[in-house]
Structure 1
Amino acid sequence: MTVTQELSAPLFAVIGSTGTQGRSVIKALEESTKPYRIRAVTRDTSKPASKALERLGCHVVEADVGHLESLRAAFTGATYVFLMTNSDYADQSPDFDHEYSQGKNQFDAAFAAGVDVIAWSGIPSMKKLYGGKGKVDNFDVKARITTYARSLTSPSGIKPKIIDVQPGAYLTNYIIRGPPRPSPTDPNAFVFGLALPPGASLPVIDMEEDYGKYVVGPLEWALDGDKGRWVDIETVHAAPGYITPLDMAEAFMQASGKSVTYAAIPDEQLYGFMQSVAGARAAGCLVEMYKGIREIGYYGGDDLGPSNRHLARPARTFSEALNARPEAIKRIFEPEA
């Protein structure tokens, strides 16, 4: 169904509308059988991605996640909002406190604007899953934001419903330049490596194509339209299933027709590469994340079945997502001379 301008349709405000997550949410709203008005929230309404959203039928507005009043204006009149934060590894504030402030602003504005339902891109607390013995700063800041949001009270006395939609590992992490993307040992043989044993479980999601499905599908199911009441869904694990690194290597082999073997990467090697391309803070977070996955699992080993039962259309598996990206496969396995 196309985006509508009918005032009878609910208004859905989307933060980060020109980025990966927000655009995926808008895509899922477009594909829904239900009509929505969409308010696409961005920092710059003049850029090409914003103009494309206007042509789609969205109302594009400017707001700054660091500015509470601009957010409140962006959310006023909305029934639903989608909120998110980006981790800035160049930010040296302790425990990503700058990101925490941005998330806090979004929830404060949504509560003040009186929205009914908030979908939030959170993530599990590795510190909590570790039992306090370790942490992953860029995970834990989002978990802190979730805790803050659930502690809020509404000026009207009626609290918005909050769905914490936790994305799995991004598929794009494994098809970009350099490790962990498969690397050639000769023209027809490649090695794929992660800082995980070959049988570890990793939830991987094609964010651009599928993340929005985990926002819109569960929200529509939770509204329980036939009975007109809300059915509680507090947390959604946004990934179609778990896959092992060994099976990921097999999927690359099937998609490319090349030989692909798996080799676990030592933490020190991963840290060194990531430090060279993204800095020490990003490298440290990534190493700690893989340690957490090895010890307790990305979602603490939770079953992903419940999170996938309420999707209007299934999310792509890792193999399906690779096969849908022939250009990426060609760049990896048939690089230009």
Structure 2
Amino acid sequence: MARTKIICIIGITGNQGNSVAQRFLQDPVYHVRGLTRNPSSPTAQRLSSQGVEIIPADLNDINTLIPAFHGATHIFSVTNYWEPFFHPDSRQKATDSGLSCRRYAYEVELQQGKNIADAAAHTVDSLDQNGFIVSTLSHARHCSRGGFRELYHFDAKAEVFPGYVEQKYPVLAGKMSCVQTGYFMLSYRLIPGAYLCKKLTGEGKPTFETAFTTAPDIPVPHLDVNADLGTFVYAVSKMKPGKRYMACGSTCSWVDYMRVWGEVNSVSAHYRQITLPELMNRTPDREFGREVGDMFSYSTDPGYDGGDEGLLMAQDIRDAGIECPMTGLEEWMRKEDWSGVLG
């Protein structure tokens, strides 16, 4: 079968981009073109051996994006707030600019998103009807009515996707679908001071605690990003454009999360709501603790999705007659190796 479509995948060596690549590689109609700053990396080379066309590109330089997108029928967009946040050079640039590292990373991600949109606008005529699929999050400042003004890794995405695109490029916006991503199930590896902390009871028996600022009974979305985001994006590409989605395999509270985790591992486990200062003290980087702490608090009110009742889920896609299998939280927990946590 001839490859009649071209999908350009930004950040193809990362969790989201790689997942999308693996799904579209299964469809012989698609030629997969992957954008990366480091085409010689082991992951890029592995993808090349799978048939992916690896293109060197830098999200900070629109002149590398325009030719990379040329002729694409589909573009998958993702930006990474955390890369400049943790990079030593970026930390120094933030200091030199008189900005917090959180604000600096926001400025970088915001500009990268605009560069993607500007470059995509150059090839909008080649894009399919639903050819611009963007990974984004809800706009915390707007959705909270100003209650959260510095949830930067949410707002840097939402201000471009959909805000900037809708304002500046209405034709491109007409071919765009916005996919919000739930809490990554693997995120427990990033915050060991708050996820799954092992303690001893008064009787000397082990128990495990997860402690965030989210209220105990508030449901939040959970996503197996590596296994499922590609499946979800592929299914979205078969839908009509202009819709908003939440990619997740399960939605449950952190209390239920810990109940299931404890049952899966046959251990005592519970969730406890804590204050933002407590959470910040549990993380080795206080700015990181503040950023994720605001996210957990925002998840209580108005909600991780910003209270958007119009978001479509995997079941809505299936109801439209399109396959969209997703991994449930308990299913993922039973496959994950917890030996490092259980000790």
TM-score bracket, normalised by the shorter chain, equals 0.7 to 0.9
Q: Aligned pair in 2 of structure 1 residues 216, 80: CA closer, same or farther (>3 Å)? A: same
Partner residue, 2:181: 167
- Residue 193 of structure 1 aligns to a residue whose secondary structure is strand
Q: Distance in 2 between matches of 1:251 and 1:192?
A: 13
Q: How does 1:1-150 map to 2 (within 5 A)?
A: 6=2, 8-32=3-27, 35-87=29-81, 88-90=84-86, 91=90, 92=94, 94=103, 96-114=106-124, 115-116=126-127, 117-135=131-149, 136-146=151-161, 147-150=163-166
- Alignment pair present for 1:317 and 2:328: yes
The 8 Å contact of residues 205 and 240 in structure 1, kept in 2 or not, is answered as yes
Q: Distance in 1 between matches of 2:197 and 2:78?
A: 33
TM-score calculated relative to the size of structure 1: 0.85
Q: Distance in 2 between matches of 1:134 and 1:300?
A: 11
The 8 Å contact of residues 237 and 304 in structure 1, kept in 2 or not, is answered as no
TM-score calculated relative to the size of structure 2: 0.84
How many pairs are equivalent? 312
Q: How does 1:235-274 map to 2 (within 5 A)?
A: 235-274=244-283
The 8 Å contact of residues 111 and 159 in structure 1, kept in 2 or not, is answered as no
The 8 Å contact of residues 175 and 332 in structure 1, kept in 2 or not, is answered as no
Q: Which runs of 5+ in 1 are unaligned?
A: 223-230
Q: Aligned pair in 2 of structure 1 residues 318, 305: CA closer, same or farther (>3 Å)? A: farther
Q: Aligned pair in 2 of structure 1 residues 301, 139: CA closer, same or farther (>3 Å)? A: same
Partner residue, 1:212: 230
The amino acid of 2:12's aligned partner reads: S
- Alignment pair present for 1:293 and 2:304: no
Q: Which runs of 5+ in 2 are unaligned?
A: none
- Residue 193 of structure 2 aligns to a residue whose secondary structure is coil
Bigger mean CA offset, 232-241 vs 287-296: 232-241
Q: Aligned pair in 2 of structure 1 residues 250, 19: CA closer, same or farther (>3 Å)? A: same
The 8 Å contact of residues 240 and 304 in structure 1, kept in 2 or not, is answered as no
Deviation, structure 1 residue 302:
4.1
The amino acid of 2:110's aligned partner reads: Y
Deviation, structure 1 residue 301:
3.7
- Of all paired residues, the percent bearing the same amino acid is 22
Q: Distance in 2 between matches of 1:152 and 1:305?
A: 23
Q: Aligned pair in 2 of structure 1 residues 43, 160: CA closer, same or farther (>3 Å)? A: farther
